[in-house]
Structure 1
Amino acid sequence: GSSSYIDVKKELTTPPVTIDVKPLPSGKPASFSGAVGNFTMTSSISSNNVKTDDAVTVKVQISGNGNIKLVKNPEVAFPNDFDVYDPKVEVDIKTTTAGSSGTKTIEYMAIPRYAGDFEIPAIAFSYFDTKSDSYKTITSEPYKLHVEQGKGGGTSPVVSNFSNKESVKYLGKDIRYLKVNNVHFVPNNELFFGSFMYYMCYLIPAILFIVFFFIYRKQVKENSNLALVRTKKANKMAVRRLKNAGKLMKENKKEEFYDEVLRALWGYLSDKLSIPQANLTKDNVEAELAKYGVDDALIKEFMDILNTCEFARYAPAQASDAMDKLYELTVDAIGKMENTIKK
C-alpha cells in the first residue's frame, strides 16, 4: 500500500517573445504629448455667466484605448488675470489582454478677479492613431465667459477681452489719479508765496513722485518677466506635490506613489522652464534643460527618475525600499536644480 506518487523536479521555459518597437513618425502636432492609441475627447464649462471671485470649472474627458495613464493634461489657456489652480485628475482604467482602456477626467478651476467678457480658447489634444498610423488632433469649441462684478469688489475696473495679456495684468494696481476735491483758495493779500506751506506744496508732490516712480519701476521690472514669478513658485509647488507622494509611500500605495512623483516632476519642470506641460515630452525635455545650463549628470538624474516611475508602475513588486530611494533621489534632484537655474 505504498504511495504511487513521487515528486519530480522539472524546469519549464517559455518560448522567447520578440517585440518590434517602431519609432513615432516625424511631424508631431504641437499639442501631441505622447498619447498613443485611439481616443475621443469631450469638454464642458460649469457656467458661461459668473461673478468676480466665483470659481469657473472646465471639465475635459479623454476616453479610449491606449496609454491613458501616461496622457498629459491638455492645456487650458485661461485669461491671464484669472487665478488658476492645479487641475483635479481622476483616472478609471481597465487592463485586459487586449490592452488598456478607460477614461481620464481633468477638472481645471480658475477664479476671475475682474468683470468683463472673456474667451477661453479651444482646447487641443493630439494622439497617434494606431489604426491609421497617423497623428490626429481633437479640438473643443472655445468658451465665451461673461463675468459680472460681485460683492465687495467695487474698486475693480471693468475690462473687456484682450489680445495682449500683459496689458491688463496689473490694471487697477498702478498709480491712481490724484484727487483734487475740496480745494481751498486764499486771498492773495495773505502772504502765501515763500511761506512754509508754499514750499511743502512743491516738496510733497516731488517726494511722492520719486517714491511712486521707484515702486512703479520695480513693479514693472519684476512683473514684465512672468517666467520669474513662475520660477519662484516652482520649488514651493514641487515640495507640496512631493508631500502627497510621501504620504502615499507611507501607505505603501505603490502605483499611486509613482503617479504622484511623475505629476510632481512634470509640473515642476513645466514651471521651472516656463513651458506648458502639454509641450514637454521626454523627447524634448533633455534639450530644454540643457538650454538652461543644467549639467548632463543632473539631466540624467531627472530622466532616470522619469523612466523609473513609468516602468515601476507596471513592474512586479520590488524591494520595499525602492520607493524610499526614488523619493530621496527626486528631492535631491529638485534641490540641485534649484541651485542650478537662477533667474
Structure 2
Amino acid sequence: MSGSKSFEYVLIPRKKGNYTIRPEPFSYFDIKKKDYVTFTAPEIQVIAGEGAASDEDGNTASGPENGGSVWSSPGIYFVIGLPLLALIIFLAVRKRKPAPPAPEPPQPSPQLGHHEQAVHAASPPQRKKTGTGFLELAAEYLMQGQNMKFYDALLKGFYNYLSGKLNIEKAEISRENIREALESRKFPKERTDELIHILDTCEMAKYAHLPAHDSDKRMMALARELVLELERLG
C-alpha cells in the first residue's frame, strides 16, 4: 500500500521585508516500519516586496487613490446625507412656525368726529378707492334697497375722494377744511353747500337709521353731478 498527500497554504506578508518560514513537522504512520514517523520540511526564505497600502492589521486600504471605489468609503455617505438632513430639519421647523397674526384695523381716535371716524373705519380695499368708484358702489346698494350701506358708501366714498382730490390728510379732513379748499379752487359756493348737505344727510341717516326715501335717488344723481364738477378742477 502506498500513496501521497499534498497540503497547500497561502501566506500573505503584512509588511515589506525578508521572511523565513520555519520548518513545519509532519507526522504520519509508516506501514513498513509499523510506527509513526515525523518528517520535517526545510526552511524557506521569502522576500516580500512593496504592495498595496495597508493598515497595521494588514487590511488593504481601498479608495480612489488605491484603486478602490469611492462608494466603499463611509465618509461619502455622510457628505451626501448631511445636506439632506439639514433640509429636512429646516422644513420641519418652518412648518411648525406659527403664522404671524393679522394686523388689526386702525382704530379711530376718540377726539375725531363722526366724519373722521367714517374715513378711518373704511376697510383697506375701500381706502384704496380714492377715485369715483364709490359712486357705482353706492348706486348698487341703492338699487338693492340696502339704504344703510348706501349712506355708508356715499359718506366714506366722498371723504376718501375729497381727501385725495383736495390734498387733505384723512385725519384732518372736516367740513371746514373742505369748504376752505374748495373756495381756494374757485368752486361755486352753492355747489359746496350741496356737497356738505349730502355729507350731513348721509351721516344723520346712517347713525339715526333712517328708512329709505325717494329723495335718495335725487341725492345719488346730485352726487354724480358734483363729482363731475369736482373732476374739472384738475
**Structure 1 length-normalised TM:** 0.34
Normalized per residue, the structure richer in strand is 1
Q: Considering Cα pairs closer than 8 Å and 6+ residues apart, tell me whether 1 or 2 has the greater RCO.
A: 1
Larger Rg: 2
